[in-house]
Homo-oligomer: A and B are copies of this chain.
Amino acid sequence: MKKSAKVPIVSIIGWSGSGKTTLLEKLIPELAGRGCRVATVKHYSHGFDMDREGKDTWRHRKAGAACTVLSSAGQLALVRDMDHDASLDEIRDRFIHDADIILSEGFKRDSAPKIEVFREALGEEPLCRTIDDVMAVMSDVPLGVGCICLGLDEVGKLADLIEENFLKT
């Protein structure tokens, strides 16, 4: 795997219900199986509740801790306050140092290169017609768009494309 100064970022975009998480569930093991250490970033517009009520770390946060870390030999977790929506670059630079690639979900206005997931039944236009930097569309129907178009199940070909563009030396 290529060792560049900055971890490359590829965003999976698509209308709600198009299957972004489902694609990631296939793409992550495909890349991991090729020896790639994958990090993922998911954007939530309306906040989230990660911690569980009553647990010690939940008690720390509720008492007013701006940041809480749980540490064990096999896993580390962190929950912290933010005062803005962080960009993918900021998230990478502050929190992800040792991945080969970052795959993000839900950052369609960010400047990272993008893969669109498209499903005709949703009745929407492909996002790549209005959003820049879409390098490929995974679609359930052939599309006349100015970028690579693959079938929804062609995850191996998508991994080839990502490897070729972001992971090869």
Taking Cβ atoms with an 8 Å cutoff, the residues of A that contact B are: 21, 24-26, 28-29, 32, 37-48, 50-52, 56-57, 59-60, 62-86, 91, 94-97, 99, 103, 105
Contact = CB atoms under 8 A, between A and B. Distances in A.
Interface of A is mostly: mixed
Contacts of A77: 48, 50, 77-80
A95 B66 contact: no
A157 B34 CA distance: 56
B46 A72 contact: yes
Nearest to A85: B73
A32 B61 CA distance: 12
B48 A65 contact: no
B91 A69 contact: yes
